[in-house]
Amino acid sequence: MSSRHARRRRLLALTTCFGLGLLPIAPPAQSAEDVALVSGAFRRSIQVSDIAHLAETEEARGLLRDLLKLSGQEPAQVAELLNKKLDVPLVLTSRLMNTRIGEALIRRIAQIIYPITTSETSVSVPAIRAAVIGALQQPEGLTAVSFLEAYPNPVMAVNLPALFAVIEKAESIAGLVQFFSDSPLDGLKEPKP
């Protein structure tokens, strides 16, 4: 087995152990500091702290404020999306991410978001898995901000053309969030006591 496959298996085992609660909960050694918006040679970075600030205060600052003005988005609406919690169980989510369907979904997401240094799926797929599991372990659960704070690379790239292609298929960003947070996962949630 090549060292790349061995490294991937170790990362997968570690992620699964976190998901199953076999290892103590610890913050990631490294988390995203910037989100780089990438389109060809174009690249602009937004600090994760600015995104978290918007989610907490509904007040945009820096480049994020300028982008919201240009796009005509209300900071309060964007803050609501950033704080939208996906209520899914940790163990089940960890298991689902390692199925063929989960792998296919993560590979599609990995075409949109990936570490800035490489878009190789052998790196981006485990990074997404680690961020989801890390975010689910946080008190606030899986939100956009907790995902970014758990993403194991200092700069997460967002491929704008790929993102816009997905958004075109949804009526709106709110519709996209609603799609991922509603019915497909309802039947999979653990019953509440």
Note down pLDDT in tens along the chain; length 193 residues.
556 655 555 555 545 544 444 444 444 456 788 888 888 888 888 898 998 999 999 999 988 888 888 888 898 898 898 888 888 888 888 888 888 888 888 888 898 888 888 778 888 899 999 999 999 998 888 898 999 999 998 888 988 888 877 767 655 555 656 655 554 444 444 555 5
pLDDT at 105: 86
How far is 107 from 96, CA to CA, in rounded Å?
14
Amino acid at 142: L
Buried b (16+ CB within 10 A) or exposed e, 50-68: bbbbbbeebebeeebeeeb
pLDDT of residue 165: 78
Beta-bridged to residue 156, according to DSSP, are 35, 115
pLDDT at 36: 86
192 occurs within a structural domain: no
Total domains, the chain: 1
- On whether residue 110 sits in a domain, the answer given is yes
Is residue 7 situated within a structural domain?
no
pLDDT at residue number 56: 93
Burial class (CB in 10 A: 0-12, 13-18, 19+), 29: exposed
> Could you tell me if residue 16 is inside a domain?
no
**Is residue 101, in this structure, part of any structural domain at all?**
yes
Task: State the residue range of the domain holding 76.
Answer: 29-186
The pLDDT score that the predictor gives to residue 26 is 44
Question: Reduced to 3 DSSP states, what percent helix, strand and coil does the chain have, rounded to the nearest 5?
Answer: 60, 10, 30
> What does the angle CA 154 – CA 25 – CA 45 come to, to the nearest 5 degrees?
15
- Is 9 a domain residue? no
Half-sphere exposure of 72 (CA within 13 A, CB side): 0
Q: What is the dihedral of CA 35, 108, 135, 58, to 10 degrees?
A: 50
Q: Does the residue 72 lie in any domain?
A: yes
The reported pLDDT for the residue numbered 57 is 92
| 3-class DSSP state of 111 | coil
Handedness of CA 161, 156, 94, 178 (dihedral sign): negative
Question: Would residue 193 count as lying in a domain?
Answer: no
